[in-house]
Amino acid sequence: MTAQEFMFAHGQCADNIDTEQGLNAFWRQMRLGLEGKGGLPMIPTYLSDIDRSSIVAGDKRILIDAGGTNFRSALGSFDADGHVHIEQLVRCRMPASDGELSKEEFYAQIARNVQRLLPQSDTLGFCFSYPVQMGEDIDGIVQPFTKEVKAPQAVGTKVGAETVAACKALDGRSRRIVILNDTVATLLGGMALFDEKFSAYIGYIYGTGTNACYVEDASAIAKLAHKRSGKMLVNTELGTFDGFALGDIDRAAVALTDSPSRQLFEKMTSGKYLASVIYQALLAAQREGLISPTELRPFDLKEVSDFLEGNGRLCGLQNADDVRFVRDVCRLSVERAAKMGAIVNAALAISSCCDKSLPVAVVAEGTTFNKLSGYRSCFEGYLGQILHGHGVSYRLVQGEELNLVGTLMATMALR
């Protein structure tokens, strides 16, 4: 049995994924989410009608990017030609990532981290890449933290209002603030950096986790408390999507995770979990006598990528037939993940494209997207094929410091 036959038999090949079925399932969950009836979370950002015409030149804004263990801060501005300038960038540890902090300590540390910038601006943009419940004031109520941040007293507080108050305690000045997450910042960063005409924008992150943001007609977001017109950015939280059928190997890998019934799309495809899916596939292949009965040690996705590039031997396998089989399993797993990623991005592109004579900008970010061998080429191949069938074109957009640039762009909503 070849690796292709083995993977297909277990439901783990790209060929097991029906494109149109996936598109329709995603659109159905999008609609339910926009109506507040389940499906995808489809979180309204309350950032509306932002485009390059919103840019205000000259004004410097304090920019914060908080995610994982890193906390970055800088000054940002646009010049008269619409070009972005990022200055005084400093990186430090995320508050409460090295030990528990009280609410007061957590926000005081944030304020101290940006204290050097406070004399230069009364406007802040805060890319806060942790769960929040967004409100119409473009502020977010902190939900239970992820990524090992320990500040339980901050849960339930408004991150923007508390940050402004902590800064005011240092210098007595009042400030405006906008809160957004990294997926929204990615989309806006691409919008800010590229002065071209696009029919729509998608912000796509494929890294440790995966998510996407797009622009929706506000009138279609039925769950909004107050009806709005115009265009609003929506954070889909597509890692929760459960519209693709799990293969046998997926089920084995998902069963080993916390909350096995949640975040299924993320657990089938993203950088944090894909190596585990591949490992479970190799264990199954060994049980079926398709590779030698040697001890298989776990591995990470960087090792998979290096192996696909011809560097090293995964699991220490030496037999040439084993090596070929395992390389094919890895390649097929990456291709399948890329096809699923392409389908959900295509669904967003098709639904938001308002002028088929112009391409959709897919602003892609994430270490896994850029470094996992084979992912990007497969993703683009499938995305182009799917969109061509629906009369839509796209352009992949990437740039430097998208989070900070997008956070600067978000401050243009504070008029």
Comparing C-alpha atoms, which of 314, 344, 312 is closest to residue 329?
Answer: 314
List, by residue range, all CATH 3.40.367.20 domains of the chain.
3-39+200-391
List all residues 6 or more positions away from 415 whose beta carbon is below 8 Å from its beta carbon.
none
Measure the CA dihedral 225/226/227/233, to 10°: -70
This model's pTM is above 0.75: yes
List, by residue range, all CATH 3.30.420.40 domains of the chain.
52-194+401-413
Looking at the DSSP bridge assignments, the partners of residue 67 are 70
Q: Which helix (H) or strand (E) holds 385?
A: helix 375-389
Per CATH, which fold does 3-39+200-391 belong to? Hexokinase; domain 1 (3.40.367)
Residue 116 to residue 381: CA distance in whole angstroms: 46
The top-level CATH class assigned to 52-194+401-413 is: alpha beta
- Tens digit of pLDDT at every position of the chain (415 positions): 999 999 999 999 999 999 999 999 999 999 999 999 999 999 999 999 999 999 999 999 999 999 877 899 999 999 999 999 999 999 999 999 889 999 999 999 999 999 999 999 999 999 998 889 999 999 999 998 876 789 999 999 999 999 999 999 999 999 999 999 999 999 999 999 998 899 999 999 999 899 999 999 999 999 999 989 999 999 999 999 999 999 999 999 999 998 899 999 999 999 999 999 999 999 999 999 999 988 899 999 999 999 999 987 888 788 899 999 999 999 999 999 999 999 999 999 999 999 999 999 999 999 999 999 999 999 999 999 999 999 999 999 999 999 999 999 999 998 7
